[in-house]
Amino acid sequence: MGRNSPEHRRRCPPRPPPRRHGPQDMASLPIPDELLAEIFVRLPTPTDLVRASAACVSFRRVVADRSFLRQFRKLHAPPLLGFLGPHTGFDPAERPHPSASAATAVALAADFSFSFLPAPDPAHRWVVWDVRDGRVLLRGMPLENSHGVVFTETVVCDPLHRRYLMLPSIPDDLAASVEGLRPRSCEIFLVPEGGDESTTAEETSFRVIWVGHYEDKLITYVFSSSTRHWQAIRSLTWTDLSAGLLSSTETTLFCRRQYVYGCFYWLPNSKHGIKMLVLNTRKMEFSIAEPPAEPKVCYRHITMVEAGEGRPGLVVLTYGPRGHIYTIWRNNNGSSSQWQKDKVIPPSPGSGYVLRHSMGTHLLLNHWGLSFDEELCPDLCTLDMKTLQIERVCASTAQSFAYSNYPPSLSSPTVSNGKLSVA
């Protein structure tokens, strides 16, 4: 009996053709968590990651892993979610801004009334003084006549996770150097901790800097959340900095502090000023830098910006016959004397855009439209320095602080302990 005989075919039916995997079969094949993590960490925005985590339980498990979230936050800066006023609360980004959904979630989850903070001293109230990396610095200011206040209660908090750290007073032995002296101006502000390690301790680390501009010198104290102590930076006279002496007609040589690539920059206080004060936060050292030789404009019309490749840039606003013109100067080799004109942004559409300051590679603009009225809440917009696109964020007070953070499901506390204070 041969293989092709009828009897053989009846006893040995033909083999079925090889099975081909259809889309449903392929979809059921398990993907290792390690591969999912490698895919998710490359998603362009936190909002995209939130959408991915909502797709199924296995995706959500990968995204919720703490080590994965630390890696994602290390690679992706927190998006701008809105603006926080000194007294007016939080104004979230509005549609069609891409962060609108995350901003709404944070507005619902966070406590921007700061009801979780202990009450300040009698006849004082908490006032928002600085905002950075999801943290808010508040000072206890007198309800009346707060002019001339130098040292006061200070707290750093995380309103999304309702945690706070009361800062201790600057020790008497440090403050003795300015006892009886009245600064021309003083300020206190947050500085990012920096560093490359993605540990829980690093995510909750921060520093606070107090700077006093006195008639003949600069006094600086630094608080570290890691050590819970203040320390003094070496006092420098204006002569040490080669900045000249304060004139009798000006309160201070520098103003409008801005942060770019690990350094704080203070701009000249008038169009007659020719130098900028620089604080390197890695070395905690002050220096003097010179802006481009031309043009000389009012300090309100210049701002620092991250120009790419770790190099600082300077944006100068001038007025042309068709509107505002932004000229970008780039420091090519880190030397204060090496400024080169990088690009010129043509007049902005419409009118009423006022240069505010920068966030990384974006400029923040106030937009009042055709009529300028500081009593009204302007539209706050961003200008992308790469694409030159203007994007409206929301309406808020002109004095509000930019608030950036991750959506609640992707965030972690930025203050180490919610109720620990240092006496």
What CA–CA distance (Å, rounded) separates 368 from 303? 19
DSSP 332-376: SSS-TT-EEEEEEEPPPSSS-EEEEEEETTEEEEEE-TTS--TTS
Domain annotation covers residue 252 = no
Partnered with residue 224 across adjacent β-strands are 207, 229
Tens of pLDDT, residues 332-351: 665 556 777 777 776 555 55
Strands (E), 163-273: 163-166, 185-191, 207-213, 217-224, 229-237, 254-260, 263-268
| Dist CA 330 CA 313 (whole Å) | 4
Residues 178 and 114 in one domain: yes
Q: 161 and 41 in one domain?
A: no
Report the domain count for the chain. 2
Same domain, 45 and 157: no
Return the CA Rg of the chain.
28
116/232 same-domain check: yes
Same domain, 156 and 237: yes
Query: How far is C-alpha 117 from the geometric centre of its chain's CA atoms?
Result: 23
390 vs 410: CA distance, rounded Å: 27
Distance of alpha carbon 247 from alpha carbon 253, whole angstroms: 8
- Residue 83 placed within a domain: no
166 and 66 fall within a common domain: no
In a domain, 404, yes or no: no
In this prediction, residue 399 carries a pLDDT of 78
Do residues 56 and 141 both lie within one domain? no
Predicted TM-score (pTM) of the model is 0.83
- Classify residue 150 as left (phi > 0), alpha (psi -120 to 50) or beta: alpha
Based on the fold, state whether residues 156 and 210 are members of the same structural domain. yes
List Cα–Cα distances, 161 to 68, 87, 112, 155, in angstroms: 20, 20, 11, 15
226 or 345, higher pLDDT? 226
Q: Quick check: is 253 in a domain?
A: no
Pairing between β-strand 276-280 and β-strand 285-289 as defined by DSSP bridges: antiparallel
pLDDT in tens, 79-112: 999 999 888 889 999 999 999 999 999 999 999 9
Tell me the C-alpha to C-alpha distance, in Å, between residue 173 and each of 179, 211, 284: 10, 17, 20
156 located within any domain: yes
- For residues 308-323, average pLDDT: 75
Question: pLDDT over 90 for what percent of the chain?
Answer: 37
pLDDT digits (tens, 9 = 90+) for 150-205: 678 999 999 999 999 999 988 878 877 776 677 778 899 999 765 444 455 578 89
pLDDT over threshold 90, residue 19: no
> What was the pLDDT predicted at 374?
53
pLDDT at residue number 249: 47
Strands 339-345 and 401-404: unpaired
134 within domain boundaries: yes
Q: How much is the pLDDT for 98?
A: 93
Q: What is the pLDDT of residue 247?
A: 45
DSSP-derived letter for residue 255 is E
* Rounded distance between C-alpha atoms, residue 136 and residue 163, angstroms: 11
Q: Which domain holds residue 229?
A: 110-193+204-242
Residue 260 near residue 312, CB atoms below 8 Å: yes
The answer to whether residues 128 and 237 belong to one domain is yes
* 69 in Cβ contact with 409 (< 8 Å): no
Region 311-334: mean pLDDT is: 72
In a domain, 168, yes or no: yes
Q: Does residue 224 belong to any structural domain of this protein?
A: yes
Check whether residue 141 and residue 57 sit in a common domain.
no
